[in-house]
Amino acid sequence: MQKLIDANMKAPEEGENIKIADIVMPKQELDTQYDTSKPDKPDEPEEPPPDMPEPEFDNPDVDTAINMAPPTSGVDPNIGGLGNFASEGDYLPIVKVQPQYPRRAMQRGIEGYVIVEYTVTKNGSVRDPRVVEAFTAKGQPTTVFNRAAMKSALKYKYKPRVIDGEAIEVPGVRTKITFNLAK
């Protein structure tokens, strides 16, 4: 190490000075040329387009059906109100969280569905979910989707059932959760 340091401690040797020529680019004007020319402006139409008729909104065609199985309890399942909308005795889904597709099922290309049964509590949350039925798209029983379906069901939120101004629990609510791969 000492030799390397001592070797570099000398003054640089004077050598022959070489002059390097200056390189200068001459100034040129660049003319940009395009392959395509600007399109011609379209001619103005001779007559304006006809007026559009006003749409009628008196009777909208709205499908208000809710895909939800009725509870299997002794409570009267009749739904009152106008057009299946909420009345005093209804419970309605507010938030339904999509389940996370299980990695094992995704890698194997498995699709299917799970039917989960649970209790909707007084505050609208879900309690005690359990898998009632789980099948692949080919009709084979499976358990690959069970955990994801139950985790998803626990995140659901409902408008609770109200009878005589008081919220009550609704046991036996069933929901079908379908697992399909994107195509």
Map out the domains of the chain with their CATH numbers: 92-179 (3.30.2420.10)
> Dmax over Cα atoms in the chain, in whole Å?
110
Alpha helices in the chain (DSSP H): 2-7, 103-108, 146-154
Q: What is the pLDDT of residues 90-100, one digit of tens each?
A: 788 898 889 99
Q: Which of 23-37, 53-67, 115-129, 137-151 has the lowest mean pLDDT?
A: 53-67
Report the candidate in 96, 89, 88, 95 with the shortest Cα–Cα distance to residue 70: 89
Whole-prediction pTM value?
0.50
Tell me the per-residue pLDDT of 116-166, one tens digit each, with 9 for 90 and over: 999 999 999 999 999 999 999 899 999 999 999 999 999 999 998 888 888
